[in-house]
Amino acid sequence: MTKVDLILTGGSVATMNDDFDLFDPGAVAIRDGDIEAVGPADEIAAGYTADEVLDCSGCAVIPGLINAHTHAPMTLLRGLADDLRLDVWLMGYMMPVEHEFVRPDFCWLGTQLACAEMIRSGTTCFADMYYYEEAVADATAQAGMRAVCAETVLQFPSPDALSYDESLERTRDFIQRWKGHPLITPAVGPHAPYTTTAELLQSCAQIALEFDVPLHIHIAETAREVEEHRAKYDMPMVPWVKKQHVFEARAIAAHCVHLDEGEMRTLLHHGVGVVHNPTSNLKLASGFAPVVQMLEMGLNVGIGTDGPASNNDLDMWEELRLAALLAKGVIADPTALPARQALAMATIGGARALHLGDEVGSLEPGKRADVAVVNLCTVHNTPRFARDPDALYAQLVYVTKGGDVRDVMCQGRWLMRERQLLTLDEQLLMAEAADVARKIDTFLIQREESVLSKLLVIGQVAQKKTFEVQVKVYLTAETPVESLLDNPEIQIIKPSVRRQYDTYFIFDDPWHNRLRYREDELLDEDGQVQDLVCRLTLTSYTKDREYARSVLLSRSRFDAPATRSLRFYREYFKPESEIGVHKERQRYRIRYGGTDFSINLDRLLKPDLPGLFLEIKSRTWSRQDAERKAEMIGELLELLHVQEQELVKQEYVELAADAARQSRASQRDEEK
């Protein structure tokens, strides 16, 4: 008789080994954190004794589940912003909040919360990629879980590094201090090809090879990213990444949604682990990964929840069920990705994808004792059939809920018994998370209060206070401006022809009510676009006019290069209304009498102005006419409304204010 520490006996043991051996009733003998033996319950009872024997009858005994791609600390951002497009979600919400809040203690707390959730649903190992990964590693080790922890490296400043040199330094430091830990595998995490550079990927690959640690990266998550990559580098993503030596390391590639067959072969050839993230891909509408094809080719494909801000939970049961269902739906074949294969992806497949296949992922002698015991005696698991032993897989994949997991062990240490967490204080973690959420709420509520703060959060804004006198005149087509400029006293410094496409976002904001998105095309002599500049300009209300036909502008403007699309800004700022103005502008910088002036000769392309508008604007109004003017404005506003010409309404709000002021002034005169 061999003495071991613990025997789990009486349950249906799904080993997930190469032969998919099932023992029912079976038993697992555990010693020093490792699996000593697995087999039929009576055989184990005949060969082994233990101080502790746990009765697992009525339960399935399986390898702990492996969440092969996540961003654990993002539990603290769960439910913060949903149902948005990836760029608005990421650039508009996640990154600004991360910039403000992500510190080591944030990552530590978020990871502990994630560990509590993962242990509760039978996960014993996960692959992470985030900032301050050392805090993630520490929180995970304290919770007693296993993880591959990749420190994120980006080409731009991140919450934990001002430059990528700094983040490479941080990564080296982290790897050196954690390498060899029994539960934590430190790794390097270049975020994705579109957020890094060739040089940066090469440096990351070099670190991974030098320290012999895994490299975790997002590959081909969205079609857009893949198209942009091809346009930029003139080659598909996978060969380009390969060129940077990334696949010479033990690479883990998350998503892999948009790959061609050649790219999959390259991944296979280099033993790259692939991680399928079905919920995240559906929620962000990224597409469907060719999972069945990749599995048929022999790639190691695991399953991941992705970060809890894009899922929004860490329940691997939901994930593996969805993987099985989605695969069938996508290729219209109900035999695709059967239950046993789905469970394999969430266990041994995940382990192999993380390059941990020799240590975990199956219940085999010599491997670490990472085990989940799942209660099958629940209403939704009733009844069970004995005819086909493999029915157990269907039961686990199509029926089991995270809450059915009764006991969880990692490296022979109990993390949960009878649904009680043994290494974490759930109540305390929940209270602390609620505290962080309150702070983030306050930050976002303040930001949403003004258009300016929303603009500042997405960056690169410069404030300019401009005091300028603008004289606006409506010209008829025949007005001979050019011949007037042909005057020896006027020196033309810089003439240019432009086409400007302006979109005004109108807000109900007491300080800054107008945000202009301008695409400014500089045209050459042939009318071809020579240069394109996109800018955002935030302005406040125009000050009162002193003269009927002139405008004195004295206002602060906030300027920023518009680096994202009009659609992004529209979805991010959610304006009350929008005004589109397209014009052709002839611009002259002139010097006259020693002073520089700018003359802009605009031809309005859009909208078509009603004649009434032009009439009001071109007449010289005396005080006596105030009533008539107000009347005409009224007519025009009505006309604009009927035509839904939101476009020039804003000008008319100002005109209407003019009229009201004039009629008040004439009333005062009468009273005198």
Binding site for Zn ion (CB under 5 A): 306
- Beta carbon nearer to Zn ion, 263 or 306: 306
> Minimal CB distance to Zn ion: which residue?
306
- Beta carbon nearer to Zn ion, 98 or 306: 306
Collapsed DSSP state (helix, strand, coil) of residue 605 = strand
- Beta carbon nearer to Zn ion, 225 or 559: 225
Minimum CB separation of residue 255 from Zn ion in Å reads 7
d(C-alpha 251, C-alpha 219), whole Å: 11
Which tokens hold the place of 82?
């949903």
Query: Which among 152, 77, 163 is positioned nearest to 114, based on CA atoms?
Result: 77
Following DSSP, what letter does each residue of 215-253 receive, concatenated?
EEEEES-SHHHHHHHHHHHSS-HHHHHHHTTGGGSEEEE
The count of C-alpha atoms lying within 13 angstroms of the C-alpha of 217, restricted to the half-sphere facing its C-beta, is: 31
Minimum CB separation of residue 175 from Zn ion in Å reads 20
Alpha helix (H) ranges present in 354-506?
391-398, 426-449, 451-457, 481-485
- Beta carbon nearer to Zn ion, 73 or 412: 73
Minimum CB separation of residue 602 from Zn ion in Å reads 47
- Beta carbon nearer to Zn ion, 305 or 400: 305
Minimum CB separation of residue 605 from Zn ion in Å reads 44
Minimum CB separation of residue 307 from Zn ion in Å reads 6
Across 32-137, the runs of DSSP E, i.e. the strands, are 34-40, 48-55, 59-63, 65-70, 123-130
Q: Which bin fits 644, alpha (ψ -120 to 50), beta or left (φ > 0)?
A: left
Peptide bond into 607 cis (omega under 30): yes
Instruction: Look up tokens 């990552």; give the residue.
Output: 107
Minimum CB separation of residue 194 from Zn ion in Å reads 13
Please count the other Cβ atoms lying within 10 Å of the Cβ belonging to residue 26.
Answer: 26
Identify the H or E element spanning 420: strand 420-421
d(C-alpha 448, C-alpha 511), whole Å: 13
Minimum CB separation of residue 422 from Zn ion in Å reads 29
d(C-alpha 648, C-alpha 654), whole Å: 10
Minimum CB separation of residue 218 from Zn ion in Å reads 6
Minimum CB separation of residue 126 from Zn ion in Å reads 12
Minimum CB separation of residue 131 from Zn ion in Å reads 13
Across 524-671, the runs of DSSP E, i.e. the strands, are 529-539, 550-561, 577-592, 595-606
Query: Which among 654, 594, 598, 656 is positioned nearest to 471, based on CA atoms?
Result: 598
CB 273 within 8 A of CB 279: no
d(C-alpha 75, C-alpha 433), whole Å: 9
Minimum CB separation of residue 537 from Zn ion in Å reads 35
- Beta carbon nearer to Zn ion, 225 or 306: 306
DSSP 8-class letter at 336: S
Minimum CB separation of residue 389 from Zn ion in Å reads 36
Minimum CB separation of residue 254 from Zn ion in Å reads 5
Task: Tell me the torsion sign for CA atoms 364, 366, 370, 375.
Answer: positive
**Residues paired with residue 522 on neighbouring β-strands, in sequence order:** 498, 531
d(C-alpha 492, C-alpha 22), whole Å: 88
d(C-alpha 318, C-alpha 332), whole Å: 21
Query: Which among 372, 253, 356 is positioned nearest to 304, based on CA atoms?
Result: 253
DSSP 8-class letter at 17: S
